[in-house]
Amino acid sequence: MRIKKLRIDPQWQSRLESIGYGYHTTDGIPYWIDDYYYEISNREANLIYKATNELWQLCLDAVEYIIKNRRYAYFHIPPFMIPHIERSWEQDDPAIYGRFDFAYDADRRALKMLEFNADTPTSLFETGIVQWHWKNHYFPKLTDQFNGIHEQLIQSWAALKPYLKGNTLHFSCAKETLEDLTNVEYLRDTALQAGIQTKLIYIDDIGWAGNGFVDLEDIPIRSIFKLYPWEWLTREEFGMHIVNDPNQAQWIEPSWKMLLSNKAILPILWELFPNHPHLLASYFNGPDHLKHFVKKPILAREGANIAMYYDRQMIYHTEGEYGEEGYIYQELATLHREETGFSIIGSWIIGQESCGISFRESDMPITTDKSRFIPHIIRY
């Protein structure tokens, strides 16, 4: 796995905008990197594929364990949501996608799970569409990419279609969030290609009619995909109605994903599967025996409020507004490093199967909202 450089296409921005990608640059600084990329081997792609599928199964086993043993206290989930979580799990309410974030030590061929973005992962459009167009632009022949996301999404929606409630699947995100809206519209487009009738509604516009959720035209919301975190949703004015909804609207991602999107899942996984080759040692009440570790809030986003320790001395930290619910302590991983920065691998699970990867690169060893998206190809 290594970085390789290209002679940049001078029209790269307009090329990306022509396929609907409008947030390639933030404040004049490119988020999308067009002139260098990761080249990986088929062996490395297979390693990621197998590890992702295996970790997904471990996560499902962990959810079953948490619910059976009522280990909710570690997750700081509002008590009123627990029956909803249990019902969504017992009913096998479907999930469509998730993204594991991996650290990869190429020298040791060690792939370690940093966390699981199980509820509201973004960068799906970049991974499934933009980097595929990038590959076809620069490498039209004799190259491949670990990227079956588009086809897998359509197949997954088609498999889900018979189990949806109502005639319309609503899609939702917050207003004035271009990145979220782009990802939602991409997901909605793949659902349309699977033959599902869809409708967009912003989270801000979801209404409560006393006997169920409705959209702006007073159409009942029976099934809804939301790119909006469950921990935020439960704090909205209508949050309590989710558990009292007589229609039992079907939410995608389902509420049982609250257990996997919360970093409290990391010590649970280590407790259940100690010394697993793709897990990092993780603990609740302190770093235990670890000399080099990372302190993470159980609920946080974009690398906020993370502190990194080496020989138990803090060497780096990020600011933010998270941490009130508590922290976990995770073994410090070795990140892949090039002259351009530190990189992590995002590995997507869609419809129960690993199907594509992305790379995020940062100047510092914590991935934040300032990180960059790096495309890739497979070297044969």
Question: Are the C-beta atoms of residues 255 and 220 closer than 8 Å to each other?
Answer: no
Tell me, yes or no, whether 35 and 170 share the same domain: yes
Tell me, yes or no, whether 173 and 297 share the same domain: no
Tell me, yes or no, whether 327 and 237 share the same domain: no
pLDDT the model gives residue 161: 96
Task: Please state the pTM of the whole predicted model.
Answer: 0.96
- 319 lies in which domain range? 281-331
Given 293, 310, 331, the domain boundary residue is 331
Tell me, yes or no, whether 133 and 206 share the same domain: yes
Question: Are the C-beta atoms of residues 367 and 360 closer than 8 Å to each other?
Answer: yes
Per DSSP, 236 falls in state S
Residue 122 within a domain: yes
Bridge partners of 374?
Answer: 359
Residues of the chain with pLDDT below 70 are none
Question: Are the C-beta atoms of residues 371 and 361 closer than 8 Å to each other?
Answer: yes
Q: Which helix (H) or strand (E) holds 48?
A: helix 42-69
User: Tokens at residue 274, please?
Assistant: 């100690």
Tell me, yes or no, whether 285 and 189 share the same domain: no
pLDDT the model gives residue 367: 86
Residue 275 within a domain: no
Q: Please give the angle made by the CA atoms of 354, 74 and 332, to the nearest 5 degrees.
A: 60
Bridge partners of 57?
Answer: none
pLDDT the model gives residue 23: 94
pLDDT the model gives residue 156: 98
Residue 271 within a domain: no
Secondary structure class of 87 (helix, strand, coil): helix
Given 296, 312, 331, the domain boundary residue is 331
Task: Name the nearest CA neighbour of 378 among 47, 42, 5, 128.
Answer: 42
Distance, in Å, from the CA atom of 211 to the CA atom of 268, rounded to the nearest integer, reads 38
Residue 253 within a domain: yes
User: Tokens at residue 78, please?
Assistant: 């509002």
Q: Which helix (H) or strand (E) holds 60?
A: helix 42-69
pLDDT the model gives residue 377: 97
pLDDT the model gives residue 25: 93
Residue 273 within a domain: no
Taking CA atoms, 302 is separated from 69, 138, 262, in Å, by 31, 30, 14
Tell me, yes or no, whether 323 and 350 share the same domain: no
Structural domains counted in the chain: 2
Long-range contacts of 200-208 (CB under 8 A, 24+ apart): 200/170, 200/171, 200/172, 201/170, 201/171, 201/172, 202/172, 202/173, 202/174, 202/175, 203/172, 203/173, 203/174, 203/175, 203/228, 203/233, 203/236, 204/174, 204/175, 206/172, 206/238, 208/238, 208/241
Tell me, yes or no, whether 160 and 54 share the same domain: yes
Given 313, 331, 349, the domain boundary residue is 331
Tell me, yes or no, whether 103 and 171 share the same domain: yes
